[in-house]
Amino acid sequence: MPFVFILICFFFASCAHQQMDIPTPVPPSDEDAPYVPEEPPEAGSEPSVPDAEPSETPLEKALRMVKRNELQKQWRAQKDDITVYTEFSIEGSEFTVVYDMIHASLQENGRFQVPFFIEALSTGESLVDSVDWLIQDDEAGLLLSFDDDYIEAWERTFDLFDRYSVRVTFFVQGRPLNFAKQALARGHDVGYHTIHHLNLPLVSKTVFMEEATSDIATFRDAGIPLRSFAYPYGLFSPWMHEELFHSFTILRGYGVTFHLYDAAGIKQGYVAAKAIDNILYKHDDEFHAIITLMLRVVKFTGTVLPLCTHNIAGIVDWGITPDRLEYLLKTAYELHLKFYCYKDFI
């Protein structure tokens, strides 16, 4: 069955990619844990069934429902191996639909055709078809952030952000007050990333508090409210969240795994941002493919994707090339994705 073959190929290609080691600083250890879905499917849910037609089988009814493209989509991901699917039941028969987002094709009428594989779990019947997908304005979007102290590179990129009407969040390290003021004046957001970028789980609580909170008043007195915090290297101990929630509203982790959120999920206070640094994607083709897939999945599921990188320069491991950044902005623009700042969820 060709579609299954494509899925299997894609799976193995993804696995090969996932084996790439990341040098120190290491991603958070939880990123290596086995996948646990954040949004378990609602087994047995009974979506509205279109008007029945005589002698129509449950599979035929299910097929019509999928093609109306109104079913709630679920997602699961392990690093870059991303699957969008729907599970539902009709008249006691359970169905699984898997959408092939990477092979969705844009038609001349501006609509995507998204191939899908549907299987009736009770009978094993399955088939491949496609659903018509019209891109519309909605709340789906990206939460793009830049970490550390690459002030000059970020300032050079302000004009590019303006060209695409994009707002981002800079998680600054140290005390770059002038840059922070400028970023806020240009519509962006500023969060905090500690004084010295230490590995926080390895320092005393006194040092942790000093690193994370002692300069908040300095920023505040300069007119810069720091409301969000990014853990250096994405590393933290369980007790740190509670301490930081006295000073910050949203805490951000960092890793190689793809996580999608809705607004309520972000407002719970912790999000894990997906790294898109050059070191993870050696070739532009590879980067373009994963960005295309990720952004289509965000739009198709109506969710928000936190992304994170560092420098903006050509030959750096921990950063993104200007060309890659523009590819990301352009792809998001074409998909009518919004750009959010962390302060939008406070």
Name the maximum alpha-carbon separation found in the chain.
72
What are the residues whose beta carbons fall under 8 Å from the beta carbon of 205, sequence distance 6 or more?
A: 243
Tally of CA atoms within 13 A in the half-sphere of 309 that contains its CB: 23
Nearer to Zn ion, 28 or 232 (CB): 232
Classify each residue of 269-282 as buried b or exposed e, where b means 16 or more C-beta atoms within 10 Å of its C-beta. Answer: eebbbbbbbbebbe
Q: What are phi and psi of 145, to 5 degrees?
A: -135, 155
Does position 148 interact with Zn ion (CB under 5 A)? The reply is yes
Judged by CB under 5 A, the chain residues 94 through 123 that form the site for Zn ion are none
Nearer to Zn ion, 100 or 189 (CB): 189
Q: Tell me how far, at minimum, the Cβ of 75 lies from Zn ion, in Å.
A: 27
Point out which span in 65-73, 142-150, 240-248, 311-319 binds Zn ion (CB under 5 A). Answer: 142-150
Site string for Zn ion, 216-255 (x = CB under 5 A): ----------------x-----------------------
Q: Tell me how far, at minimum, the Cβ of 148 lies from Zn ion, in Å.
A: 5
Q: Tell me how far, at minimum, the Cβ of 149 lies from Zn ion, in Å.
A: 9
Point out which span in 9-17, 71-79, 147-155, 207-215 binds Zn ion (CB under 5 A). Answer: 147-155
Residue 26 burial (10 A CB sphere; 0-12, 13-18, 19+): middle
345 DSSP assignment: G
Does position 211 interact with Zn ion (CB under 5 A)? The reply is no
Per-state percent for the chain, helix, strand, coil, to nearest 5: 35, 25, 40
CB count within 10 Å of CB 231 equals 25
Does position 147 interact with Zn ion (CB under 5 A)? The reply is yes
Point out which span in 78-86, 133-141, 145-153, 335-343 binds Zn ion (CB under 5 A). Answer: 145-153
Q: Tell me how far, at minimum, the Cβ of 306 lies from Zn ion, in Å.
A: 15
244 DSSP assignment: H
Total interface residues for Zn ion by CB under 5 A: 3
Nearer to Zn ion, 141 or 234 (CB): 234
Which residues are near Zn ion by CB under 5 A? 147-148, 232
